[in-house]
Structure formats: structure tokens, C-alpha cells
Amino acid sequence: MSTLKTQIHDYFAYVDEEQGAVAIATVRERRIGEDPVRPIQPATPQPHRPRRWLIGIAAALVVLLLVGGVAVLVQLVGDGESSPVATTPPVPRTTAVTPQTTVPTTPTTAPRTTVTAPPTTVVEPRASVVAGDASLTWERVEGVPQDASGPFFKTGSGVGTVVRNGPFSHSLWASSDLRSWVESDLPVPTPFFEASMLSTASGRWLIGAGPTELWFSRSGESGPWREVDLSGLVLTVPEGLISHPRIGRPALIGAVTLLPVEHLVSIDWERIFGVPPGTYPVITIHQENEFTDVLVVTGRSASGSIILGRVVPRETTSGLFLIDESTGDELFFYPRGIEGVDQDMSGNLVNGVSSSSLHAITDAGVRELDLFQVARGDQPAVRAVQVVEYGGQVVAIGLGDGGVEAFISSDGVEWQAHPAPPFYGDVIVDEASGFLYSSPISMFSSHWVSADAITWSMLDVAQAGFLRRLTSGWLFLPVDDEGLLTDVGLFLVGEGQSEIAIGDPTGTVVHSAVAVGDATLLIGPGSAWLGELSFQP
Amino acid sequence: MLSDETIVDSFTEWAEAAESRLRHALTASFGPQVGKEATVDALAHAWEHWERVRAKDNPLGYVYGIGRNKARRLARRRPPVFVDVPAQRLPDVEPGLPAALAGLPEKQRIVVILLHGYEWTMSETAELLGTVKTTVQTHAERGLARLRRDLGVEL
């Protein structure tokens, strides 16, 4: 067998041969999308082709004018009395044309020190997909784990979820197409296990099994399962909080020498905040007098509080405290939510600290990013930062003195400011579907999605009391407050937003849902629906 | 104002030189099929906006960015797909190599493929990615290490 490098070289020689070169002459004659045939002289300005949304708006205006005119005419003729003729005909459901607040798509290149809060701009109504461009077709499917309540997790080949079979028994269900599901046993029959304790990391699954066990499977559904050594893990569950160990992507835990739990008592758990759920839940706490550097591996409960921690003195951190089992190079970024553990030292400095290696989280390997400028004062405001890794880049969104600020980096070292989203709230990478989603803290009924963490779109979800998010080519299916699927969903393509008729499962109570590719599976009590999103040319 | 012929010639000269590099870069990111389609779209975009593109400091990097946007739409968030290893090469190439490549983090995959699949230099790869050679080196080492682990090979 050749060396790996030789194999790669040989393989891509074959790929190159099969792929063939692009003929430049054909490129010059090629159409792009709906554009007219490109002229030979590209410098010649071409008249803009009327946009479809303009045509739609114009048509709608004409219809409204006609209807209005008829109504006025009828009213005049009828001497002001209402008439059946004057009834406004139902307006066909068209695309959402509400102007969307958005941010420019081009990141700023100015250094962070010169960043000012970027203005949000109201842009023209977005180009939309007219009804009929995309459609949903549904069929009822059998063999789906009916008790699956989620969350679903992305695996190497599809998605999986955990289903409780009884008080002491759970099983894993996995599927690559949402149609065929394979059940396998979990290795840890424990009454403490909850589906919500299952976390995922770069395609791996980490199973949290109560306060004393943590099981891990790299490949998810196929195992093998390994028990993580938790000896020394300080499981600190502050009073009143729900145990919910979410171990972040890099956090497989090795055996280390730990300080006793007593050292944690001085930590004001309520003051630790800003840890993005399921992403990089690590906080560094300095307490110079007792130990020069300690590390607390944390999770965050649904209520936003730290509930799982461990303390590692610096002298033990030379390659032991965290073991990056699989990826090796995952950018490790965590917000420093608080600096100092006693009241005199505590501030509200919220900075990012990154390292390219888990093994390098020492003074030498950690870099203070100091992205968010927060002045220390006698009455410092509460600050927070969200950090998500998405599409090969890391996006940090936080509150600084200048308001909401955002920075983006591809390597954790070089950062660029870019226009902040016009909101602040939890930014979540949906693990099952892989898009960014946010429900701002302070904005009523607004939901935002992004494909790149730069351009955010506000979903128009006024027609539903609660949005249960899904993606299948950016499909969002709202349910009402009772969990009933409403009749109109939202469909995003490009920068457009359109309504889409949902069809068959309308009115079905939806307990859980997941999407893979263009397929969306809705699971309700006693029934499951598989929807395929299709596009018209 | 340049003549039509000059514009055609300058674009053709640039495109013929850039085509393979652009296609290789996009293939590394998105796989052969999407990579090639995105290459065509990106070059077409470059042609349509040639006056602007040619004025860029790094036209290839700019067009690569265009190609990535095109590819993202084409791929619709699906992972890259690399063709199976042909039977005649199986004795020398691990059959799991395409899947292992697809499973790499994107930057590792790009770097590994460009360096070892298409024989780019560190500098060329760093320039394309807008980073420094040490970062490229790091991605390459980690990508290869992960491939070796996933494929169970030591060499």
C-alpha cells in the first residue's frame, strides 16, 4: 500500500481526469440563472431584468386598484349601502413582502478598534419564491419511533434520537433517510438517564448518564461505547438547578488531580453566564491566592446556569485535563464570563479566549482576544457573549460598551468585526439540521435565522403563536400554542422568504420533528408524516 | 476603453490560467461535481463582471469566493461527495479515502487536497485561504493525522 499522501495524489489524479477542465469558450456563452445570454462585451451595461417580486407587487397593486375601484363604484352606485358585489375577494396567498431588517452581507474589514455599531438597514422587499416554486408532499410512514420526543442529533449518516422504553431502559434510534429506523441498545440502563442529557460533538455522541456516569460513542448508533473516566469530576449542582450535563464538543475528560469540592463553594454560580449551550462550555476562573489558574468545565442548564464543573489546578494541565479524542484541531473558544471569584475581584469583563488546541490551554497557549470592550466600573452591567462555530468559522456575538458587537474568525487568531445582528439573544446551532437560529431575548415574537452568521433574516411568524423550527432546505413549520401544525409554513431560499402550504398533516399534533436533506419527519401521537420538499424548475 | 477583442483576450488568458486552480479549490471544498459546476458559474460571473474582477488585487481569490457562494447554493448544505475509488486503483488507494476526506473539517480537507492531491504549495494554499503558511501546515498535519486514524493506516 502506498503512503497516504501518495494515495491522495493518485486519487485526485483520477478525479481530475474524470472531472475534466472547464472550457473557457463555453463559459463566455453561458447563462447564469435567469439572466439573459451574457454578451461578448461584458463592459456594456445591460438593462436590468424586471424582478419577479416587482412583477408580483405590480400585479398585486393592479388587483387591489381594480378591486378598490370596483368597491368604490359599487358603493357610489348603491348609495352607500353595502352590497354583496363589494365584498373583497380573497386575496391569493402570496409571498411575504414585509421589508426585512437585515445587515449587510459584506463583513467589514476595519480593525476592531475602529468598529462602530453598524447600522441596520431596511432593504427592499426580498426576492421571494412565488407559491408553486416549492411544494411539500406528505405520506404517513410506519416504523418510526413514536415515542421519540427528541432532541435529534446529527450522526455521520443521518440523525438519531433516544427513546425511553421504560423507567430503566432506553434505546437509540438512528436513521439515514428518516424512513428506515434502526434501534440499538444503550449501554447504560440507568434511571437517571434522560434524552436531554445526550449531547453531540462533531458527529460524536456523548451520553450523560446521571451524576456518576458518562458514556461516549464516537460513531453514535454503531458504538462501541466507552465509559468516560469521571474520577475527580466535580459534579456541583447548585441548589435548585436541574442536573443537565452538557459536555461541549471538545470536552472528553481525562483523569486529573482535582481539588476538593470545597473550593467551589466560593463561586457565585449565578454570576457565571454567557456559556453557549452545547458549544464551548468552559470558563476559566482565576483566583490568585489559592490556585494560580483553575479550569472549570461546565455545562449549562436550560435555565442558563452552570451546573457541572470541575477544577483543575494549572500544574496538572500539561496535557491531561482535556483530551480531544477525535478532531484534534477543533477551535476551542470560550467566553470568559467572569474574572475573579471573590466579590472584590469580580468584574464583568467578557472576553473571548481561544486556543487552537485543547492541549494548549495554558498561559502560553491561550490568547486573550479582548474582543468586547467593557469598561469596569462600580456598577458594571451584565454582559454576555455568544460564540458559535459555523461553516468553518467562529462567530462571536456579544454585548460591549458599543452595544451588540460581532466578530468573525476562521482560525481563532485573526478576527474581523462584522456588522452585528440586529438583536441579541441565544444563537444556537441546530445540531440536527445545522443552521443558526436565534430567539432574541428582548424582542417579542421575532425569530432569526442565518446561513452564515453574517446575514440574518427575521422570520415572519406572526401567524403562529410558536414556531417549531425545522429545516429542510430552509423550511419552517409553525405550530400553534397547542402543538397543532398550522396550515402555512415558511420557506427560505437565497434571501427570499415565502409562505408555503403545508397540506396533509395540518392540524396534527406534533411532538417532535427532524429534517434530513429535503425530507422532514413529523412525529405525533400515533402517527408520523414524512414530507418531501420539491422544487419546480 | 478596452476593445472587445482585448477584453475577450484578457479574460481568456486569465481564465485559462486560473481554471484548474479554481476548480481544484472548489473541488476540495465541495467535491468534484459541485466543485466543477461552481467553477463554471464563478468563471461566468467573472466574465460578466470582468472589468471589476480584473481590477482586484487577487482575482482568483475573489472568484473563488464567488464560487464558494455558488457552490453553497448548489450543495444546499449537503456534505461533499467524492467519487468512489475506481477498481483499477483499489490496490493502491484505500477505498475509504473518499468518505474519510468528506468527513474532514472543511479547512483540513481543503488543505490536504490542495497540498497532496493537487500539489499546491503552502504559499499558494495560504494565499487562497487568506491565511498564513503555519496555519496551513497545522491544518495539513491534523488533517492527515485524522485521515490516518480514520483509515487505520500508519504511513
Decide if B145 and A327 are in contact by the 8 Å CB cutoff.
Answer: no
Identity at A419, one-letter amino acid code: P
**Of B35, B48, B142, which has the smallest distance from its Cβ to A32's Cβ?**
B48
Identity at A286, one-letter amino acid code: H
CA distance B108 to chain A (A): 9
Contact status, residue A213 vs residue A221, Cβ threshold 8 Å: no
SS3 A26: helix
H, E, C per residue of B15-45: HHHHHHHHHHHHHHHHCHHHHHHHHHHHHHH
A438 class by beta-carbon count within 10 Å (0-12 exposed, 13-18 middle, 19+ buried): buried
Contact status, residue B18 vs residue B24, Cβ threshold 8 Å: no
Peptide bond into A224 cis (omega under 30): yes
d(CA A58, CA A67): 14
Contact status, residue A340 vs residue A271, Cβ threshold 8 Å: no
Q: Please give the interface size between A and B, counted as residue pairs whose CB atoms are below 8 Å apart.
A: 149
Decide if A356 and B138 are in contact by the 8 Å CB cutoff.
Answer: yes
d(CA B115, CA B133): 12
Nearest chain B residue to A389, by CA: B105
Contact status, residue A534 vs residue A133, Cβ threshold 8 Å: no
Quick one: how far is CA A190 from the chain centroid?
30
Contact status, residue A149 vs residue A511, Cβ threshold 8 Å: yes
Cα–Cα distance list, A443 to A96, A447, A459, A470 (Å): 20, 9, 13, 21
d(CA A290, CA A452): 43
- pLDDT tens per residue, chain A (537 residues)? 578 888 898 889 888 888 888 888 877 775 433 333 333 333 333 333 333 334 444 444 554 455 444 443 334 333 333 332 222 222 222 222 222 222 222 222 222 222 223 333 222 223 333 334 677 889 999 888 776 665 676 666 777 777 777 655 667 788 888 888 888 776 654 443 443 344 444 344 445 444 445 555 555 555 566 655 444 333 332 322 222 222 222 222 221 222 233 333 333 333 332 232 332 223 322 222 222 233 333 333 223 322 233 333 333 222 222 222 222 333 334 333 322 222 222 222 233 333 333 333 333 334 445 666 555 444 333 344 555 655 556 667 766 666 677 877 765 566 788 877 766 555 555 444 444 455 443 334 456 666 666 667 666 554 443 444 454 456 777 776 666 777 877 776 655 667 788 888 888 887 777 777 778 888 888 888 998 877 665
Those residues with Cβ within 8 angstroms of residue A517's Cβ, 6 or more apart along the chain or in another chain: A472, B78
Cβ–Cβ contacts within 10 Å for residue A82, how many? 10
Cα–Cα distance list, B46 to A43, A69, A269, B34, B131 (Å): 12, 49, 55, 18, 23
**Of A26, A203, A329, which has the smallest distance from its Cβ to B139's Cβ?**
A329
Decide if A1 and B153 are in contact by the 8 Å CB cutoff.
Answer: yes
Q: Which helix (H) or strand (E) holds A75?
A: helix A52-77
H, E, C per residue of B67-97: HHHHHHHHHCCCCCCCCCCCHHHCCCCCCCH
The per-residue DSSP string of A135-189 comes to EEEEEE-SSS-TT-----EE-SSSEEEEEEEETTEEEEEEESSSSS-EEEE-S--
Cβ-based contacts of A42 with chain B (< 8 Å):
7, 11, 47-51
Cβ-based contacts of B151 with chain A (< 8 Å):
4
A365, three cell numbers: 497557549
Cα–Cα distance list, A514 to A150, A205, A331 (Å): 9, 17, 28
Decide if B50 and A43 are in contact by the 8 Å CB cutoff.
Answer: yes
